[in-house]
Every structure is written in C-alpha cells, then in structure tokens.
Amino acid sequence: MNQIIVGYHVQATGVITLNEELDSYILVPPEACLVWPAGTGLALRDWLRGRGHEPEMIKLA
C-alpha cells in the first residue's frame, strides 16, 4: 500500500470535507501521539516537545 501522510497544525472551525484528494482523517490529541526515530517522527517529536509533551518513542521493525 502506498500512502502519503500530510500533517497540519491549524486552529480552525467547521466541518472537514472528504473528497477524491482526502479519503480519511484522524484527529489525534497531542498527549496520545507516538513518535518514531526517523524523518517525520523526529519532527513530530520536536513539535510536541515545544508544546510541553514528551511523546513515547516507538521502535521501527
């Protein structure tokens, strides 16, 4: 399966609308985020730390 993960941090109101470019979405509270030791996982870790959270690091298989 090929996937592209696009993450946004915005303060917004309204309804998220799905279409041919957005098949699904998941809202994850910062305190529930897990990070991984590479690429975007490290960027997410840094973003979470900047907001006062120390996320759990998962191991890549």
- What is the residue extent of each domain of the chain? 26-60
How far apart CA 7 and CA 4 sit, in angstroms, is 10
Q: Render each residue's pLDDT in the chain as its tens digit; 61 residues.
A: 666 777 777 888 999 999 998 899 888 999 999 999 998 899 899 999 999 999 999 998 8
Q: pLDDT above 90 covers what percent of the chain?
A: 57
What pTM value is reported for the model? Answer: 0.69
**From residue 33, how far is each of 8, 19, 20, 21, 57 by CA, in Å?**
14, 26, 27, 24, 9
The CA distance from 19 to 35, in Å, is 28
Contact status, residue 35 vs residue 45, Cβ threshold 8 Å: yes
